[in-house]
Chain A
């Protein structure tokens, strides 16, 4: 009985709200970054935690603005948190023009990353969403590829 009390006490003492999302937190960034190839230099993380799409509402999307430099070879990688089955889709836009994606709608194929050799310096938009508007958690990693 005393053991149960001690376990209970320790659980309460060390409980932190963020533990509820153990997979969907900073460790996801670490895991995703560790998957970068040797020729990639980490630049930025893009975290997305989205609720499911409600009927009649727009598809939930996490939006980021990034400044990319011309001539640089970038890689956009995406990693899902294990506890959410819906796969994340990362899309790169130059203004309204889609210039890169981790998902091909035609073949319904998901890719863990795509490379982008930036043709012009400027502000680009990154959108992260989850297939069929499901609830999800993912992290996108922007890295620079050595030539």
Chain B
């Protein structure tokens, strides 16, 4: 039994935010039908490399976030294809798109049009900047992230701003969108009425740095700026270099923890320095203390340092890279990573799995992303009741491939 059994979602999305939103629903059992243009489909099908690294023999960018979905190819510029979509709307609970509202209106797929066909419909959009902004410009992940202020506050002072990485904001916008859709479905279950939902890339990303942005809004202007690790207020909660990996030490500024740190670092001289004897001193002389701790941590590699920290009960972690993470047992045990069969290459592959764990109706991955239009004819016949003659006519018109 899946949480979203019987919920049908029309997924008219491209690239990342929209598709990953529908993926979150599909993982929990929603019947997601991805609608794609016949020529080439979702542009993400064309991805061939990431950071100039060849993606290998399967397109994990597209196939992972479009998993558990069906694909229907429709040329929505054609009225006959729009008619098919209307029939689909009659049999669906959710319509989702991250295309521009103007484009949807041009294809006669506005909220008013679709709600007239199915008043229970949840009509969800992922705009770039919100439904009430007078902004019409391209909205890719990084350019939107740039406007939120989060990039400018990261990194050491004087260094270039820092991008959280390809898809980082899209994944967040997708999750906000999925949450909005569930809320609207909850309401519809009770009242029988659908409504519009929007989760924009900008609105979501403003929450990526919520604690800092909220403090800034309250008047703390320093939160907008880069801060050095060499001058954090609590030296016991900080990043330290070693001869190997960096280590993140996460301890409160308390005397007992400080004493333990001194012991872990071989009774280092700084532990007896009266400047650092109490929390206030450690705060006031933070830069000197950080330099003193660093001088000690640099004498060890991260393995030695972690062993010494563990012996003293200090909370810390080495800074892993992706090669470490893909071997992390904890990630596999919790299904944050999964293995699944990939039709395209006829073997098992590794994918990002299920970040939300439900005890009785867990998510699952049964197929990777569909081939373009693979379910078009089957859905037309089985779900919408078209006969073969009509399907041939639609092909002749170019409404379907």
Co-complex (A, B): no
Residues of A within 8 A of B (CB): none
Residues of B within 8 A of A (CB): none
